[in-house]
Structure 1
Amino acid sequence: MVHLTQALTAALLATGVVAHPGGNTNKEILRRQAHLDHPNRRNVQECKRDLVASGWVREQHQRREARLHELRVAAGFAKEHELVRRDVGEVEESFGAEAACTLDPESTEGPYWVTGELVRQDILTGEKGAVVHLDVNIIDTSSCQPVTDAYVEMWGTNATGVYTGVQASGNGDGSATAISTNALRGVQPTGANGTATFITLIPGHYVGRTNHLHTIIHHGARLLPNNTIQGGTISHVGQFYVDQNMLRDVEKTAPYNTNKQAITTNAQDALFNMAKRGGDDPTMKVSLIGNTIADGLYATIDVGVNPSARQNPQPVNMWGPNGGVPVKGSPWAGYPESCLYCGFRPPMEKKDADAEE
């Protein structure tokens, strides 16, 4: 399996595919390969017995069913007494077969991470599209326990494939129209069951990449009076994806169907293909709340992390009262023409002794 994965890596590196317009995914492919080859790598599947025995899988399944039903009732598509439950034994049997996991990051933060985002559940800020109520479960793969004291940061493009809070020639039409808004960016704490919840959109596509959401997992951060977080460490830098059949339907709806950028499917996306290796599946499970996408969506994903790992992602901007402000010395500055991270080699990561390879 290692030889097969490395052969795939070599093939992907040879394609020279782009991560964003003007850049390439080589550094991100190499990072993912390092993660797959790590001798201490563990995924959620390896915690299956403990999570099932503790009752966590059962509780999460029942909570998710109840949450989807609650959303359907609120939208007028179900009655309170009409909740239909799936067999719990079947759920426990299949748990962990499809789950994201990490020891080293799945991919880089990309050139459009804006630090200093607000702690808030609803990150729409007026953006239109396929609204998603997203539950992200964080699991400590070293202890097989839910992570109850982390912050999950989330960001993605709007329906037409543009990131807010930044201006770059590879970001949509390269204009400054989105730099003054923090739409589709935010942070949420994990609760007692290890779950962080967002209201966001299915992200749009852009040149060279399939539709995806970015995430960073923070540990030990402090909540500041201005409703942002500071300090702590980062264990995970990753991306979530959407099933291609769902994407096909989403892309037919407004305003996604006004996006003129070239479409890259999941099958054509090198990072998606690398993320699927090693028994992982970074694809969110998405359910319709009503009869159509316009009625809203409910999505879930389980993410395994090693809280002792230390990653060092670099933001390009910091969010301020007037929008995104460039971070001095950011290696992403000038993307995609002249940034330090635009080349072949991936940036170095910092790790504590406990997380060393």
Structure 2
Amino acid sequence: MVHVSQALAAVLLASGAIAHPSGNTNKEILRRQAHLDHPERRNVASCKRDLVETGWVRDQHQRREARLHELRVAAGFAKPHEMVRRDVAEVEEEYGINAACTLDPEATEGPYWVTGELIRQNLLNTEKGPPVHLDINVVDTTTCKPVTDAYVEMWGTNATGVYTGVQARGNGDGSNTAVFTNALRGLQPTGANGTATFITLIPGHYVGRANHLHTIIHHGAKLLPNNTIQGGTISHVGQFYVEQNFLARVEAVSPYNTNKQAQTKNANDFLFNMGKQGGDDPVMKISLIGAKIEDGLYATIDVGVNPKAKQNPQPVNFWTEKGGIPVPGSPWTGYPDTCKNCGFRPPKERDVEGELEDAE
């Protein structure tokens, strides 16, 4: 698998693939490759035996079944006594065949990370689209136990492919209208089972990238009186995706079907392809709550992290009551035209080796 991923990285670097319009993606490709080649790399699958024997897989499966049934009952699509359970032994056997994981970043934080977001479960504000009840389960791959004391940060575009809290050419029509809302951005603490829960949307597509959600895992952060966090460390910077056939069904409903931006499919997205390397699976598992997409969705994904790892993503803005304001010295300021992380220079072979050494 290492040889395959190294070849893919070389092709992507040579082809000048982009993460966002005009964005510099060399470093993201190289950091992901360094993660795949890391001799101490472990993922959720590495913990399968421990997670099964401790009952975590069984408990999570039963909790997910109960949660989906609860959502269906609340929406009027099922009766309280009608829950159908899947055989737990079958679930335990299949667990870990494909699972998300990381030691190093899965992917870049991108040019639209806004720090200082609120701790809240419902991220919708006034954004339209079928609501997604998303459970993110965080596992410590060094101990094979759930991470119960972290904050999970989540953000993504609205149904028409626009990020809130920022202004940039290429972010929708480039106007400042999105700066004054923090919709589809927020944080949640992990509970006793390592789960953080959000209500959000399937992200819309925009030029150059497949539909994806961003996430950051914070450890040791301090809860502030204004319902935000401060300090601590970041172990994981990742992106989640949607299976392409299911995504096509989502894109066919309103307001996704009003999105005029060019769409990039998963198969043509280099970060998605690299995210699938090494036995990882960054694709969310999604179930219908009702009979159709518009009735709402329930999604889950497991993420393996090393809590001692320390990543250093860079925000472009800071959220305040007056909207998103620039972070001084951010390498994303001026994206995609004048920022430090803008542009693309095809690397020579020695550059690739040097970057890989730096990433490790």
Q: Distance in 1 between matches of 2:136 and 2:236?
A: 13
Q: Distance in 2 between matches of 1:111 and 1:130?
A: 26
2:348 corresponding residue in structure 1: none
2:115 corresponding residue in structure 1: 115
1:234 corresponding residue in structure 2: 234
Query: How does the TM-score come out when normalised to structure 1?
Result: 0.96
Q: How does 1:250-261 map to 2 (within 5 A)?
A: 250-261=250-261
Q: Distance in 1 between matches of 2:208 and 2:130?
A: 22
Q: How does 1:18-167 map to 2 (within 5 A)?
A: 18-167=18-167
Q: Deviations over 1:140-166 (max 9, x none)?
A: 000000000000000000000000000
Q: Distance in 1 between matches of 2:4 and 2:247?
A: 29
Q: Gaps (5+ residues) in structure 1?
A: none
Q: Distance in 1 between matches of 2:261 and 2:14?
A: 24
1:22 Cα deviation from its structure 2 partner = 1.9
Is the Cα contact below 8 Å between 1:154 and 1:214 reproduced in 2?
A: yes
Q: Deviations over 1:93-131 (max 9, x none)?
A: 111112110001111110000000000000001100121
Q: Deviations over 1:274-307 (max 9, x none)?
A: 0000000000000000000100000000000000
1:217 Cα deviation from its structure 2 partner = 0.1
Is the Cα contact below 8 Å between 2:23 and 2:344 reproduced in 1?
A: no
2:246 corresponding residue in structure 1: 246
Q: Deviations over 1:224-245 (max 9, x none)?
A: 0000000100000000000101
The one-letter code of the counterpart of 2:138 is I
1:202 Cα deviation from its structure 2 partner = 0.2
Q: Distance in 1 between matches of 2:130 and 2:336?
A: 29
1:263 corresponding residue in structure 2: 263
Q: Distance in 1 between matches of 2:283 and 2:50?
A: 23
The one-letter code of the counterpart of 1:336 is P
- Are 1:302 and 2:302 an aligned pair? yes
Secondary structure of the 2:9 match is helix
Q: Distance in 1 between matches of 2:233 and 2:108?
A: 16
1:14 corresponding residue in structure 2: 14
Structure 1 stretches of 4+ with a deviation exceeding 6 A read none
Q: Distance in 2 between matches of 1:129 and 1:221?
A: 32
Is the Cα contact below 8 Å between 1:25 and 1:271 reproduced in 2?
A: no
Q: Distance in 2 between matches of 1:63 and 1:37?
A: 35
Secondary structure of the 1:178 match is helix
The one-letter code of the counterpart of 1:148 is T
1:318 Cα deviation from its structure 2 partner = 0.1
1:189 corresponding residue in structure 2: 189
Q: Deviations over 1:45-66 (max 9, x none)?
A: 0100000000000000000000
Between the two proteins, the alignment pairs up a number of residues equal to 351
Q: Deviations over 1:185-217 (max 9, x none)?
A: 000000000000000000000000010000000
Between 1:186-195 and 1:122-131, the stretch displaced more is 122-131
1:27 Cα deviation from its structure 2 partner = 2.0
Secondary structure of the 1:283 match is coil
Q: Distance in 1 between matches of 2:26 and 2:173?
A: 24
Is the Cα contact below 8 Å between 1:115 and 1:318 reproduced in 2?
A: yes
Q: Gaps (5+ residues) in structure 2?
A: 346-351
The one-letter code of the counterpart of 2:209 is R
Q: Distance in 2 between matches of 1:21 and 1:343?
A: 10
The one-letter code of the counterpart of 2:268 is Q
Q: Distance in 2 between matches of 1:127 and 1:153?
A: 19
Q: Distance in 2 between matches of 1:110 and 1:56?
A: 33
Q: Distance in 1 between matches of 2:100 and 2:333?
A: 30
Q: Distance in 1 between matches of 2:177 and 2:97?
A: 42
Change in 2 beyond 3 A, CA 1:337/1:231: same
Secondary structure of the 1:342 match is coil
Between 1:24-33 and 1:120-129, the stretch displaced more is 24-33
The one-letter code of the counterpart of 2:69 is H
Secondary structure of the 1:216 match is strand
Taking only the aligned residue pairs, the percentage that are identical comes to 78
- Are 1:202 and 2:202 an aligned pair? yes
Q: Deviations over 1:310-345 (max 9, x none)?
A: 000010000001100000000110100011112458
Q: Distance in 2 between matches of 1:118 and 1:183?
A: 10
